[in-house]
Amino acid sequence: MATLRDIKRKIDAVKKTSQITKAMNMVAAAKLRGAQQNMERFNPYALKFTEVIRRLAAGVEEVGSYALLARREEVKKIEVVLITADRGLCGSFNNSLITFAEKFVHGKQAEGLDVSFTAVGRKGADYFRRRRYDVRKRLIGLLNKPNYEDASTLGLELVEMFETGTVDEVYVVYPKFVSMVKQVPTLVNILPIVPETGQEGMEGARREYLFEPSHEELLTDLLPNYVHIQLLGFFYQSAVGEHAARMAAMENATSNCKELVKSLTLTYNKARQAGITKELMDIVGGAEALK
């Protein structure tokens, strides 16, 4: 049985851990507010940009004349951009993304396709590199402060790989932000770009637009920007999801520490009372022996 000193030491250690988890919860909450504000300000622009691009692309008669719209007849190699966090202590956030991506990759490899990774985030990069997957590039720190420059740098590289035929398709695995307690691993095919379909897409294609410069020049210039905007949106959602997951995880950890302290305190009091009772019994026994 543990001594009183051991139990007291455990109580002190758990209390210190509780202080750390509480501080991490507060830091995550502060970062979450800023990241969420940035995401909410960016979303209207991204949605409208996406709507315009897909409607313009839906009106293209010869898709093959635009490299980013052309689908390959035979797909041999794909690139997967996996977005995870650089750090842990955020519950199942990283693990769910890694498991989702690994399942997708296994399916593609079973079809005989060659798969390589662009790992945005230390956790995903380390996991797949240890398991000897083809991690083509490793990007760290992008989610600390998502910005257009980082998104465009990565976007230009992916566009160049697609245009030169190095890869035939580009996918992104990211945590879609649904709510503060729910981030869903999501797969998006960003290259080739898929024009808008359905009734809304047909209506957009039938509309008459005046282009300056020409339709072709406009699309050629805007299509790469569409990829950059998509990536930046994924970065924003991933950053918000990471902070929300870490805040929830640290809140649960703090609550568990409090429960553990209560349990250890009860054990400590029981052991202390048992020690006092034993000492009293020894005193009473000694007194009886002296009679």
The answer as to whether 289 is a domain residue is no
- What does the angle CA 201 – CA 205 – CA 209 come to, to the nearest 5 degrees? 135
pLDDT at res. 217: 76
Q: Is the pLDDT of residue 202 over 60?
A: no
User: Do residues 223 and 88 both lie within one domain?
Assistant: yes
pLDDT tens per residue across span 47-59: 988 888 877 777 6
- CB-based burial label for 32 (10 Å; 0-12, 13-18, 19+): buried
User: Do residues 258 and 174 both lie within one domain?
Assistant: no
Mean pLDDT, the chain, as a whole number? Answer: 87
User: Do residues 205 and 85 both lie within one domain?
Assistant: yes
User: Do residues 139 and 227 both lie within one domain?
Assistant: yes
pLDDT at res. 183: 92
Q: Is the pLDDT of residue 116 over 80?
A: yes
Range of the domain at 177: 33-245
The answer as to whether 288 is a domain residue is no
The answer as to whether 264 is a domain residue is yes
Q: The whole model's pTM is what? A: 0.86
Q: Is the pLDDT of residue 198 over 60?
A: no
Pick the range with the lowest mean pLDDT from 45-49, 137-141, 271-275, 277-281: 277-281
User: Do residues 221 and 113 both lie within one domain?
Assistant: yes
Identify the residue with better confidence: 23 or 222. Answer: 23
Q: Is the pLDDT of residue 201 over 50?
A: no
Number of domains present in the structure of the chain: 2
pLDDT tens per residue across span 146-178: 999 999 999 999 999 999 999 999 999 999 999
pLDDT at res. 209: 63
- What does the angle CA 261 – CA 265 – CA 267 come to, to the nearest 5 degrees? 120
| Close Cβ partners of 213 (under 8 Å, ≥ 6 residues apart) | none
Q: Is the pLDDT of residue 112 over 70?
A: yes
Q: Is the pLDDT of residue 63 over 60?
A: no
What residues act catalytically?
90
Pick the range with the lowest mean pLDDT from 76-85, 192-201, 241-250: 192-201
